[in-house]
């Protein structure tokens, strides 16, 4: 009988009659190392950022590892007033994929539905001079305004808020959670922009008011508990500033994108 010596450091040895021996010790150890992802049904799933640098793309990759159903659930949950914390109930963990597409879709919605509202107003003003089959006329200046307005409010404001609270010693949340909360909170403006195509002044103001109330309540309800943890009582006054800023953005959406009314028929605008 022949014997084959197997060394501990050998990966593969072939014995008599085609027998093969393979060691899995190294691969098992690698899978248990920190910072190395696991393999699941969806393929390679990286762990949360560990040793990656802030300036590397890999640092942000885990925040975009989320499925569509979860994003949709997080979006429509912002429309339902709740007494539970959105951070604890839905953003576990927080992501950046949903907020990015929420803000981007809002930009697209404001531009397209504003152009549609303008065309409807022109047609209702003079049906003889316009035809429903005429192509829509797009004002691409509105697109630039929407990009600057939405991204500034949806990204710059939460980052500045987080930096300000960190400076004041309030560190109850991360910058990703701040951006995620703020981004998902703007979802309500997407259906509002669709409804504002209706060429009636009272209806548009009502829809904008509802959007302001829902999103404003959502943001204040989830941000105020963080502000309340500050030692300085004056920090809580930031909530008033945020409400005023939110009212300003709602007014901008209404005035800049949905101030088109027919000059004949409905003159309520």
Q: pLDDT for 237-262, tens place per residue? A: 889 999 999 999 999 999 999 987 77
Q: Look at residue 53 in the predicted model and tell me its pLDDT.
A: 59
Give the strand pairing for 12-14 and 43-45.
Answer: unpaired
Torsion angles phi and psi, residue 223, rounded to 5: -95, -35
Distance CA 74, CA 96 (A): 12
Residue 123 CB partners (closer than 8 Å, separation 6+): 130, 131, 132
Q: Look at residue 235 in the predicted model and tell me its pLDDT.
A: 82
Residue whose entry in the numeric block shows the structure tokens 């004056």:
234
Domain definitions of the chain by residue range: 12-62, 68-257
Q: Look at residue 14 in the predicted model and tell me its pLDDT.
A: 47
Nearest to 146 by CA among 207, 103, 101: 103
At 44 the three-state DSSP class reads: strand
Q: Look at residue 167 in the predicted model and tell me its pLDDT.
A: 86
C-alpha distances out from residue 242 to 103, 161, 238, 239, Å: 18, 10, 6, 5
Q: Look at residue 211 in the predicted model and tell me its pLDDT.
A: 95
Q: Look at residue 256 in the predicted model and tell me its pLDDT.
A: 93
Residue ranges in the chain whose pLDDT is less than 50:
3, 6, 8-16, 18-19, 21-49, 265-269
Per DSSP, helices labelled H in the chain are 25-31, 68-77, 86-89, 97-125, 140-151, 157-167, 175-185, 189-195, 201-227, 238-257
């Amino acid at each position: 009988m022949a014997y084959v010596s197997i060394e501990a450091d050998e990966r593969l040895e072939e014995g008599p009659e085609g027998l093969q021996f393979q060691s899995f010790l190294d691969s098992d150890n690698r899978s248990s190392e920190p910072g190395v992802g696991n393999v699941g049904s969806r393929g390679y799933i990286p762990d949360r950022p560990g040793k990656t640098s802030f300036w590397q793309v890999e640092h942000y990759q885990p925040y975009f590892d989320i499925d569509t159903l979860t994003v949709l659930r997080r979006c429509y949950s912002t429309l339902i007033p709740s007494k539970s914390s959105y951070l604890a109930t839905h953003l576990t963990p927080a992501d950046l994929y949903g907020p990015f597409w929420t803000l981007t879709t809002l930009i697209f919605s404001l531009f397209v539905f504003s152009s549609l509202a303008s065309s409807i107003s022109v047609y209702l003003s003079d049906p003889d001079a316009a035809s429903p089959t005429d192509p829509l006329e797009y004002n691409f200046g509105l697109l630039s305004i929407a990009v600057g307005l939405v991204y500034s409010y949806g990204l710059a404001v939460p980052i500045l808020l987080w930096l300000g609270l960190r400076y004041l010693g309030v560190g109850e949340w991360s910058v990703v959670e701040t951006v995620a909360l703020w981004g998902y909170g703007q979802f309500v403006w997407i259906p509002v922009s669709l409804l504002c195509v209706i060429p009636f002044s009272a209806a548009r103001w009502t829809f904008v008011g509802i959007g302001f109330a829902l999103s404003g309540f959502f943001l204040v309800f989830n941000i105020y508990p963080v502000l309340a943890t500050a030692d300085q009582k004056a920090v809580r006054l930031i909530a008033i500033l945020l409400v005023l800023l939110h009212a300003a953005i709602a007014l901008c959406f209404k005035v800049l994108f949905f101030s088109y009314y027919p000059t004949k028929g409905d003159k309520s605008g």
